[in-house]
Structure formats: C-alpha cells, structure tokens
Structure 1
C-alpha cells in the first residue's frame, strides 16, 4: 500500500464529507473587496438586496466580511431570502487571487456534497414510480457489495450502511492527488473502499460515506435504464426549472466561474484546483450550479415539491448523527432547524438550506475548502449569518472527531 503522511490522509478524507476536522492551515488574508460589489440575482427585484433596513444590512456586511477575512476566504457569495423581512445578496472578495477579479453573484461553482440531494431525489422519484422500495437490499440491484443483502437503499441514503468510505482509503487518496486530472469510474472508486471491512452492522450508527451515494447513483442507472446525468436532467432538473445546474462528465466547468483554492495536495501546499476532474465524486459530489438555481432548489428539496407527500415524509425522518444539533435524513440534513445540505470539494464549498418555519433560504458559495481553526469556512459563515438573522435557529454543523467518525458535511 502506498503511504501518505497521516496529516495528508486526514485532510483529504474530509474533502468529501459533510463535516470534518482538518489540521488548521494558515492562509494569507484575501484582498478585501467592498461588500457592496454585487450583481443582482434573477428574482431579487431592482437590486440585489432590500428590505432588511440599513442597520441590519450594515451588520450583515460587517459580520460576513469579518468572517471572510479571518478565515482567509478569497471570495464569497451570500444569498439570504426571508419573506416579509427582506433579501440580502452580496459578493465579496476575489474570484481570482492572481488577477484580483472580484467575486460576483452570477458565477457557477462546484457544489460538492450538495449533489447528494439531487441523487437521492432521483432515487425517490423511482420510489414514487413504484419501481424500487427503500427497504430493498442493495444486492438486489448491484452485485459485489460487502454485506449487500443486509444493507438497504434506506441505509445507504441515511448514511447508516457501515460501508467503508472510499475517500478514506490511502491508495485512493494517493492515486487522485498524484493525478487530479484522472478519470475514475464509479466501480473503480468503490473498489478502494471494498478493500476494507465494513465498519459496523447496517443501521447501527451514522457514518458519512460517499460509497453510499455512488451505489445509489448506480441503482438509479440500473433501474431507470438511463445514465444518471440524463435521468437527473429529465426527472429532477427540468421539472425543478434548474437551468444552470449540471452533472459534468469530466473537468468541464461553465463560464463564468471563480478559481478554486485547496490544500488537499500531497505536499499540503495551497494550489489552484479549478480544473481538477471531479469524476471520482460523481453521484456523491460532482455537480455544478449557481446562486439562482440553488435558491430555487433549497425550497424544492426541503418541501418535497417533486415528490409525493408520503415519500417526502420518509426523506425527512431525521436520525441522530452523534453530533449535537445536526440530524440526517435521506440525503438531507437538519442543522438548527435549517434543512438542506452543504458541499465541499477541493477548491469550493457551498451551503444551501431552508428554514421552514420562516420560509427562509440561505445560500453560500465559496472558492476555497481550506479550513480555519479546524472548521470548514462555509460553516463559519453560515453560523455567523444565522446568529444575526435567526438567533433561535443557528446553523451550527458540529465538528466531529475525524478518524473515528468521518462526518457530515464537505463531499466530501
């Protein structure tokens, strides 16, 4: 087995998890750009922000810029919509650290583990079609899965399968980081995880594993008879009217997009990962979207607009993760009452969540996944914003112990 320094293994394993603890890495502060540098979102009316009033708007400006600079986030987009109260849409920092091009709100970004909400929605469409059942064993559809006759589709979607996460495998990490342009197939990445014993009996506990979502993507393909990219387009993206969201087949990346910066490298040095091939993440974390589409998707996925009420109720059966404040359903999480998912993939992080009781939506897009004081930068921003606008519902995704329990938020 190829050996990678333990610190590198820990850093990369978090790269596909919804929550992870990584060794803190010092980063130079990004060049500050005035917080009022914005471009309007499509539904933002005559301007990108309005309704919160000058005092609250100024407080949000200061809070967001303070977190961005302190966490070393090069560029950040924030979209906050609260019916009856107002909207706040801002871009701050830079999209390119070399040219100094400012961040703007009309950019595409890689959304990492937010892909899981789309893949599981596709799976649940097949449930509504009567073509699969959540309690079917994965072995009914995909051969060769360790303990596959006891692991159900439900176990996979709720992160309780016990399958070893392939992104935690040292050989996988070495092979990807040695050649980030490489194309991986779903069965190739699964094979890395299969070299390890399952970590627990199905349903016994929560463990965030990208292996689960790769398998669910394969189930969608086998049952539907269509490639995942085509099924998503026809049954999920088109009905949701998401015209700027896609599952790439390689490193393609629509313009305009910011440069992405990561330290998920063999050396630990910060590098530009914009054009890395995300095929290794596929159904678990390879998708691309923009602010407008993520705003729409936050409400759609949280309210079950594309699903039957019965199936959506199954999706929202949140179970404990072992981390206070955060529960997980079927490819969706609940953090402080905010329902949705976050994403992290080398170079980019996102958060897309919806607060049902206020019908509020929060979307964040960052062009780095480098942690600050052991915490993901997107979580720091989301926590700070919700402490200001919804103090009774603070997005506070926990920082779990890394090695023993890979956790719940990048693709991670």
Structure 2
C-alpha cells in the first residue's frame, strides 16, 4: 500500500474525529451551515437520528451526531453510534474482489460457473458483469417471497441455492441491459469466501476494518451485542416512525449487511480515493462506467430517475454530475436505516450521512444532497 505524508496526516486527523465529539476545522461558516441543515432535518422529522461527517481538502469540516439513536430509551446519537448502512456495503465487496484479482487469486473475467456451477446461466455470466449490474441476474429483493423470508437465517451457500430456485432468475441476456441486482452482489460475497476460505466477515475485518482503524464497522450480526447500536425505524412520512421490521443479516450479506458510522465511512473514502487500498489500474477500473457486450456504456440503458441527471455505474459506485461537479458514491437502504457516502474528487470533498430512518420523505439521501450543495457552494434545489 502507498503511504504518504498526506495520508499519515489524514490518519492523525481521524484520531481526533473518533473521540466522539463534534469537530470543526477552519471552515467555521461552512460547518455552521452544514450543522443547520442537519438540525433542520431532525426538526422536520426526516429521521429520528443522523450522523454527519464532512471533509474538505483532507481536513474535517464537521463530524457530529444529531437526534435520537433510540426513541424508546431517549438515547442521543453521537459519533460512536453504530448504524446499518445497507448497499454502501457493496463497494467493500468490490474492493475485496479487486484485491484478490491483484493477488492473482481470481479474475473479474471469470465465469460465475467457476464458483457456483449450478446457478442458472452461471456459464454465461462474468464476475465483472455482476459488479456492473449487467449480468441480468434477478434481484431476490424483487421476488415476492422476500419479505416473508427476511427473518430466516441461512449460510451463504444455502441462500445462493435458494436464489437459484426463484421463479425468475434472469431479467435479460447477460451484457445486454442494466438492472440493480442484490443477488449478484450477495453471490460475489460467496465467491470471496470460496477463494479466501474464510467468512466474508473475517475477510473484511482482516483486510480493511482492522488495518484502517474502523472500530465501528463490521459485517453485522443481529445477535451480536454492539455498544452504541442505534435502533432503526421505518416511516410512512416525516415524524411517522415505527420500529423497523426484523431482517436476518444473513440475507443482505455482501449486498448490504454492514454496520458502520459516518466517521468510519469517511476514513474508508480517504483510504480508497487516496490510493491506499488499490493499485491505480484497479481503482481506475472501479470508477469507470460499465460496458455492455456491444461496447456501449451501461448508462445508455440505465433507467431514468426523477430528480437525477444521467449517471453511470462502475464497481459498486455511481458516477454522476451535480451542476458541474463530479460525484462518485453510493447510497444504502435497509429495514430501518439509510445511508449516503459520496466523494467529489475534483473538489476534494467527502460527505457521509447515515440515518436510522427510512421511508417516504425520510432518510439520509435528501439530507446528504442538501449538505453536498451547501459544501459545494451551490444554490438549494427548488
């Protein structure tokens, strides 16, 4: 790994952040503006609680918790609170696969059949297509059985065998379309386990969480006692909170089972975008738009989303433009929680927001969007 004076300085800054107190650098006015956005979101009932971590030019602007981590116990959110982060998990899965490719242990051009020969169409699908969501593998979260099966606890291979028997396993011919597939990323976690001969939780801890000092981060286990664990809430609208439905963390797996904190996720982005995790060629591949079999970018067939301009998808990272500012990142949503982790590399800006609420008008996404616009000096959206 590349270690520079700049990266060492960043590590020293993070040691200050993780003490559990809010910290603002010289950007006092910016910190105050971001703080107001977060406080207004809590006052408007957009989530019971929030964690916010914003960095500019390698220095922290604001790292702070807001609102309630547990509405029944009236426990406040602080910087040591722990939240589930949903699909932000996927980029950790992608980086683990890229590391294994760098070490010669696998190739992203491998067919899925090398690891799961019995999965439908496995001989026609590559790991790279699975990372890009161009494999056509049907997402189990779209299967009618998903909500009823969410409490079930199974091993990785048991879930993969179950997904192989879904009524629908393929949405389109591999390489001809784009559709977000949690199944694909779940199975990629199984590939990592087979290559490493260890659980995914152990692989991620040994390769990333431990070395980077991400003390609040792990592949979650609902049975574990986790100091500072925030309760999650589903919502029909602002201030309309209910305790989230139960889900076994064996079902999201490599697609979305991680728990973390905003400061830990910012630490991850500093390492990832600072060149400490991947070789330059691997990182370049990770943030490059996916390709279809005909050579076109996958963005040409990606669905249009209201309120969003054109975007591309690399390896577990969306690549988009925000009023002339490149944004690279991902959001996450899982029962009771939502998250957003975005990097603006040309602006040297990181914005991490996690909420213990999800639903209509509730969650991390819109709050993060408002914070990003403030930090970039852009006018608010209408």
Query: Under TM normalisation by the shorter chain, which class is it?
Result: 0.7 to 0.9
How far the C-alpha of 1:92 sits from its partner, in A, is 1.9
- Is structure 2 residue 363 aligned with structure 1 residue 377? yes
Residue in structure 2 matching 1:328, options 313, 318, 327: 313
Tell me if the contact between 2:233 and 2:335 (Cα under 8 Å) persists in the aligned partners: yes
- Is structure 2 residue 282 aligned with structure 1 residue 311? yes
Normalization by structure 2: what TM-score?
0.81
Tell me if the contact between 2:50 and 2:355 (Cα under 8 Å) persists in the aligned partners: yes
Aligned to 2:357, the other structure's residue is in SS state coil
Question: Which residue does the alignment assign to 1:126?
Answer: 100
Question: Which residue does the alignment assign to 1:186?
Answer: 156
Separation (CA, whole Å) in 1 of partners of 2:140 and 2:155: 13
Question: Which residue does the alignment assign to 2:176?
Answer: 204
Task: Please provide the CA RMSD for this pair.
Answer: 2.8
- Is structure 2 residue 236 aligned with structure 1 residue 288? no
Tell me if the contact between 2:193 and 2:199 (Cα under 8 Å) persists in the aligned partners: yes
- Is structure 2 residue 98 aligned with structure 1 residue 158? no
Residue in structure 2 matching 1:117, options 91, 96, 119: 91
Separation (CA, whole Å) in 2 of partners of 1:163 and 1:394: 38
How far the C-alpha of 1:72 sits from its partner, in A, is 3.0
Greater shift after overlay, 44-53 or 354-363?
44-53
Q: Unmatched 5+ residue regions in structure 2?
A: 1-12, 291-298
Question: Which residue does the alignment assign to 1:386?
Answer: 372
Aligned to 1:354, the other structure's residue is in SS state strand
How far the C-alpha of 1:369 sits from its partner, in A, is 1.5
Aligned to 2:185, the other structure's residue is in SS state helix
Separation (CA, whole Å) in 2 of partners of 1:248 and 1:59: 33
Tell me if the contact between 2:23 and 2:60 (Cα under 8 Å) persists in the aligned partners: no
Residue in structure 1 matching 2:28, options 53, 57, 61: 53
Question: Between Structure 1 and Structure 2, which shows a larger proportion of strand residues?
Answer: 2
Separation (CA, whole Å) in 2 of partners of 1:263 and 1:189: 29
> C-alpha offsets along residues 90-134 of structure 1, whole Å, 9 cap, x if unaligned?
322211222322221221111111111111111111100112111
How far the C-alpha of 1:289 sits from its partner, in A, is 1.5
Matches within 5 A, 1:30-109: 42-44=15-17, 48-54=23-29, 56-83=30-57, 87-109=61-83
How far the C-alpha of 1:42 sits from its partner, in A, is 3.9
Question: Which residue does the alignment assign to 1:400?
Answer: none
Residue in structure 1 matching 2:189, options 198, 202, 217: 217
Tell me if the contact between 2:216 and 2:261 (Cα under 8 Å) persists in the aligned partners: yes
How far the C-alpha of 1:84 sits from its partner, in A, is 7.5
Tell me if the contact between 2:22 and 2:64 (Cα under 8 Å) persists in the aligned partners: no
Question: Which residue does the alignment assign to 2:4?
Answer: none
- Is structure 2 residue 200 aligned with structure 1 residue 228? yes
Q: Unmatched 5+ residue regions in structure 1?
A: 1-39, 396-412
Separation (CA, whole Å) in 1 of partners of 2:260 and 2:379: 26
Tell me if the contact between 1:52 and 1:85 (Cα under 8 Å) persists in the aligned partners: no
Normalization by structure 1: what TM-score?
0.76
Question: Which residue does the alignment assign to 1:7?
Answer: none
How far the C-alpha of 1:201 sits from its partner, in A, is 1.2
Cα distance 1:58–1:87, how it changes in 2: closer, same or farther (>3 A)? closer
Cα distance 1:304–1:340, how it changes in 2: closer, same or farther (>3 A)? farther
Question: Which residue does the alignment assign to 2:347?
Answer: 358
